[in-house]
DNA sequence: TTGATTGCAAATATTTTGCAGGCAT
DNA sequence: ATGCCTGCAAAATATTTGCAATCAA
């Protein structure tokens, strides 16, 4: 089940001196292979199916390490700020399904120019930005349409 | 100290059937006149200077009402999702100082087009978006420069 | 063997709820 | 006078910390 992305992650983690334990392997695999934004509890529930004795605390700590290692990044969601998603290569923006949390990165061309111009006009020195689009992904649109009546 | 914006807010709240009490008046005044994004604790601390017996719980509940009434809106900050700012007229975007939370609304021209195009290309039906720029406001840039050595 | 990592339990921190009394209407 | 609103205390949540046992290296 461990996919190639996860292999990379494990290698990186090992190089950073982390020990590759079973909980780490499972948590990493979930996060590396999911195209959904997940919070610690969601990862915990999923991890427990494969390894019932895993603790929520371990999930918190492991996700913290993965963030530290730059493999996942925190994403603020309408209902919480403790969710994470695979880090983007370079800074990109997110398109997120409000129903299932499926997410995609996209590039906005030239936004940097607008951002800097805006910062200048208000006298701010821009250091960072968040751009997230929310909507329904294709699957969730269909589910919605096929509502049992 | 109660400013004109606050007068409007009180009127709106009254029309919605809320009772205009002293805690409400104080909390409203803080939020209506501040150009900083504030969380309940910050509002509480400020409110307490004018009215020491106010409770944090009241601040939470009052801010909830103000949000319900559309006068303030929730803003996600890097360190928490429980902050609020005066609601914008129409949907606008935010420019936020990472040091003091001073904030400004700005309009991004034509972003809607980009957003919809992006949504389409991934099969998402866009319903909403967040765009926030972070940086240092002018005051905080100066403070930074004048660092005592 | 050694010490980083785990999982439990307990501690913190944060937000919400219940309720008796107070106050706006 | 009525019942919404307040503030206290307590409950519910969410997250972090301490520690002995386990396990990767």
pLDDT band at A133 (very low <50, low <70, confident <90, very high): very high
CA-to-C1' span, A64 to D9 (A): 35
In this complex, which residue's CA is closest to the C1' atom of nucleotide C16? B57
Cβ–Cβ contact A128 with B under 8 A: yes
Ramachandran region, residue B39 (left: φ > 0; alpha: ψ -120 to 50; beta: rest)? beta
Shared-domain flag, residues A82 and A108: no
Q: Which domain, by its residues, includes A138?
A: 93-146
Q: With 0-12 CB in 10 A as exposed, 13-18 as middle and 19+ as buried, what is B29?
A: buried
CA-to-C1' span, A59 to D16 (A): 13
Q: Tens digits of per-residue pLDDT, B51-74?
A: 999 999 999 999 999 999 999 999
Shared-domain flag, residues A81 and A8: yes
Q: What are phi and psi of B102, to 5 degrees?
A: -60, 140
Q: Is the pLDDT of residue A149 over 70?
A: no
Which one of B86, B102, B118 terminates a domain?
Answer: B86
Shared-domain flag, residues A72 and A141: no
Which one of A86, A102, A123 terminates a domain?
Answer: A86
Q: Tens digits of per-residue pLDDT, A59-116?
A: 999 999 999 999 999 999 998 899 999 999 887 999 999 999 999 999 988 899 999 9
Q: Supply the pLDDT for residue B131.
A: 96
Q: Which residues lie near nucleic chain C, judged by CB under 7 A? A: A 17-19, 21, 23-24, 51, 53-55, 57-58, 61-62; B 14, 19-22, 39-41, 56-57, 60-61, 64, 80, 82
Calculate mean pLDDT across residues B10-26: 97
Q: Is the pLDDT of residue B34 over 70?
A: yes
Select the residue of A95, A119, A134 nearest B122 (Cβ to Cβ): A95
Q: Is the pLDDT of residue A4 over 80?
A: no
Shared-domain flag, residues A73 and A27: yes
- B131, two tokens: 């765009």
Q: Supply the pLDDT for residue B26.
A: 98
Q: Let me know the angle formed at the C-alpha of B135 by B134 and B137, rounded to the nearest 5 degrees.
A: 125
| Structural domains of chain B, count | 2
CA-to-C1' span, A21 to D18 (A): 22
CATH number at residue A81: 1.10.10.10
Calculate mean pLDDT across residues B21-48: 98
Q: What are phi and psi of B64, to 5 degrees?
A: -60, -40
Which one of B86, B115, B135 terminates a domain?
Answer: B86
Q: Tens digits of per-residue pLDDT, B86-99?
A: 999 887 999 999 99
Q: Evaluate the CA torsion angle B1, B5, B8, B10 in order and state its sign.
A: negative
Q: Is the pLDDT of residue B6 over 90?
A: no
**CB-contacted nucleotides of strand C (7 Å):** 4-10, 14-18, 23-25
> Shortest CA–C1' contact from B60: which nucleotide?
C15
Calculate mean pLDDT across residues A17-45: 97
Shared-domain flag, residues B8 and B79: yes
Q: Which residues of B touch A123 (CB under 8 A)?
A: 137-138
With CA atoms as reference, report the closest residue to A85 among A67, A65, A59, A108. A67
3-state DSSP of chain A: CCCHHHHHHHHHHHHCCCCCCHHHHHHHHHHHHCCECECHHHHHHHHHHHCCCCCHHHHHHHHHHHHHCCCEEEEEECCEEEEEEECCCCCCEEEEECCCCEEEEECCCCHHHHHHHHHHHHCCEEEEEEEEEEEECHHHHHHHHCCCC
State pTM to two decimals.
Answer: 0.90
Q: Is the pLDDT of residue A55 over 60?
A: yes
Shared-domain flag, residues B75 and B107: no
Which run of H or of E encompasses B130?
Answer: strand B125-136
Q: Which residue has the higher pLDDT, A44 or B146?
A: A44
Calculate mean pLDDT across residues B16-25: 97
How many other CB atoms are found less than 10 A from the CB of residue A113? 9
Contact assessment for residue B112 and residue A85, using Cβ atoms and an 8 Å cutoff:
no
Q: Supply the pLDDT for residue A143.
A: 80
How many other CB atoms are found less than 10 A from the CB of residue A124? 26
The whole-angstrom separation of Cα B81 and Cα B67 is 14
**CB-contacted nucleotides of strand D (7 Å):** 4-10, 14-18, 23-25
Q: Is the pLDDT of residue A1 over 80?
A: no
Q: Supply the pLDDT for residue B9.
A: 96
Q: Evaluate the CA torsion angle B109, B114, B119, B120 in order and state its sign.
A: positive
Which residues on neighbouring strands pair with residue B73, listed in sequence order?
Answer: B85
pLDDT band at B1 (very low <50, low <70, confident <90, very high): very low
Min distance A133 CA to chain B CA atoms (Å):
4
- B61 Cβ contact list (under 8 Å, min separation 6): none
pLDDT band at A26 (very low <50, low <70, confident <90, very high): very high
- B86 Cβ contact list (under 8 Å, min separation 6): B5, B31, B32, B34, B71, B72, B73
The whole-angstrom separation of Cα B114 and Cα B129 is 12
The whole-angstrom separation of Cα B40 and Cα B26 is 13
CATH number at residue B101: 3.30.1490.190
CA distances from A130 to A46, A95, B52 (A): 28, 11, 37
Cβ–Cβ contact B69 with A under 8 A: no
With CA atoms as reference, report the closest residue to A55 among A67, A68, A41. A41
Q: Supply the pLDDT for residue B3.
A: 65
Q: Which residues of B touch A76 (CB under 8 A)?
A: 76, 81, 130
Q: What is the mean pLDDT of chain A?
A: 93
């Amino acid at each position: 089940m461990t996919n190639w992305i996860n292999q990379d992650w494990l290698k990186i983690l090992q190089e950073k001196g982390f020990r590759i334990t079973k909980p780490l392997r499972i948590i990493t695999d979930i996060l590396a292979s999911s195209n959904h934004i997940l919070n610690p509890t969601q990862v915990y529930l999923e991890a427990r199916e494969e390894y019932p004795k895993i603790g929520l605390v371990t999930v918190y700590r492991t996700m913290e390490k993965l963030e530290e290692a730059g493999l996942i990044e925190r994403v603020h969601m309408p209902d919480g700020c403790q969710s994470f998603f695979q880090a983007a290569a370079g800074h990109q923006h997110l398109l997120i399904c409000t129903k299932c949390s499926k997410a995609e990165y996209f590039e906005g061309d030239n936004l940097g120019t607008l951002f800097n111009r805006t910062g200048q006009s208000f006298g701010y020195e821009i250091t960072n930005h968040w751009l997230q689009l929310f909507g329904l992904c294709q699957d969730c649109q269909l589910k919605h349409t096929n509502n049992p009546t």
